[in-house]
């Protein structure tokens, strides 16, 4: 298992590498930050390969597909969860766990239920203690909210409870919180949670939603949707979420040249532009999408 000192070194290195998105964008500089989802097929390779690729600043392990009511289910579709801990390495890459997803059974019945889920995530994946931690003694950097099913209730409570654990991690490190809402504003599942202002990053999914996805004929609507998201989240870094291949989503794929020359110049005008989020490592590995866009992100 990865030792705690190695994990803390990773966090320290990551802190040195990750720039302030607001100041970088304000100065007219590219942040170069790419987030990728990993965990839904063994064909994407091991976590250490993704973290060590030099392509991403954040890798999100997906998904905890079951939670609430005292029940929990981690689904890493084809991956050996015992191999995840050793792969959380000191390469300056944040590693988060995503809860939710498009398949599963999850919800929060009450504020007390949200507190119980926050405690579970702390004890099993973050800085707490449990005899049955799925990733051993590996301490992940935070939690991602990809809430697509069930009811929207109490995710604001869950976010506040998780953020309150900041400072209790080894070395006093914070708990990173990210979210992946759909681009129609406001997101019906995460709207209330995002209004708490406690999320560090918001990876807006500008795909599977033709009304706000980027294409040349829809550039004005895309720009309006982006501006709405960026202006509504002044305390968060906002990322442009995209599929890494045409087959990775039903719609919303943007070819690398169009992204670099047309879409990114629109979103990079926002002071809190943070970078690009890709679904997923599997598709990116097949197409090399991140390599083609990294210079422009």
Arithmetic mean of pLDDT, 250-258: 98
Q: Rounded distance, CA 79 to CA 63, Å?
A: 12
In this predicted structure, the answer to whether residue 74 has a pLDDT above a threshold of 90 is: yes
Could you tell me the two tokens for 26? 């304000």
Kindly list the catalytic residues.
148
Mean confidence (pLDDT) of the chain: 90
Residue 121 vs residue 3, higher pLDDT: 121
Tally: H helices and E strands in the chain: 12, 10
Question: Which tens digit of pLDDT belongs to each residue from 159-177?
Answer: 999 999 998 877 788 999 9
* pLDDT for 90: 57
Please state the rounded mean pLDDT for residues 36-51.
96
Per-position DSSP letters for 155-212, written without gaps between them: HHHHHHHHHTTTT-SGGG---EEEE--BSSSS-TTTHHHHTT---SEEEEE-SS-TTT
- Least-confidence region, from 86-95, 149-158, 222-231, 243-252: 86-95
In the prediction, which pLDDT does 168 show? 85
* pLDDT beyond 70 at 3: no
Instruction: Find the mean pLDDT for residues 101-129.
Output: 97
All structural domains of the chain with their residue ranges: 34-294
Cα atoms in the 13 Å half-sphere on the side-chain side of 109: 9
pLDDT at 293 over 60: yes
pTM of the predicted protein model = 0.90
Fold (topology level) of 34-294: TIM Barrel (3.20.20)
């Amino acid at each position: 298992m990865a030792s705690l000192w190695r994990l803390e070194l990773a966090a320290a290195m990551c802190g040195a590498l990750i720039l302030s998105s607001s100041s970088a964008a304000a100065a007219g500089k590219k942040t170069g930050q790419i987030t990728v989802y990993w965990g839904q097929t063994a064909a994407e390779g091991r976590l250490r390969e993704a973290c060590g690729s030099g392509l991403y600043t954040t890798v999100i392990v997906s998904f905890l597909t079951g939670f609430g009511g005292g029940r929990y289910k981690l689904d890493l579709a084809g991956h050996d969860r015992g191999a995840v801990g050793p792969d959380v390495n000191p390469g300056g890459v944040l590693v988060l766990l995503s809860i939710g997803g498009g398949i599963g059974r999850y919800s929060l019945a009450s504020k007390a239920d949200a507190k119980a889920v926050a405690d579970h995530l702390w004890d099993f994946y973050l800085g707490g203690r449990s005899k049955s931690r799925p990733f051993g003694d590996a301490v992940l950097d935070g939690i991602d909210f990809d809430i697509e099913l069930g009811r929207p209730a109490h995710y604001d409570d869950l976010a506040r409870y998780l953020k309150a654990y900041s400072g209790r991690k080894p070395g006093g490190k914070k708990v990173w919180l990210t979210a992946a809402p759909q681009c129609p504003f406001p997101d019906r599942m995460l709207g209330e949670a995002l209004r708490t202002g406690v999320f560090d990053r918001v990876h807006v999914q500008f795909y599977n939603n033709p009304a706000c996805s980027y294409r040349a004929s829809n550039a004005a609507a895309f720009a309006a949707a982006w501006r709405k998201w960026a202006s509504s989240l002044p305390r968060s870094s906002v990322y442009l979420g995209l599929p890494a291949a045409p087959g990775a989503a039903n719609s919303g794929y943007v070819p690398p040249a169009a992204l670099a020359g047309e879409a990114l110049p629109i979103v990079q005008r926002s002071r809190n532009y943070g970078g690009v989020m890709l679904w997923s490592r599997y598709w990116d590995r097949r197409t090399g999408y991140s390599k083609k866009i990294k210079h422009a992100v």
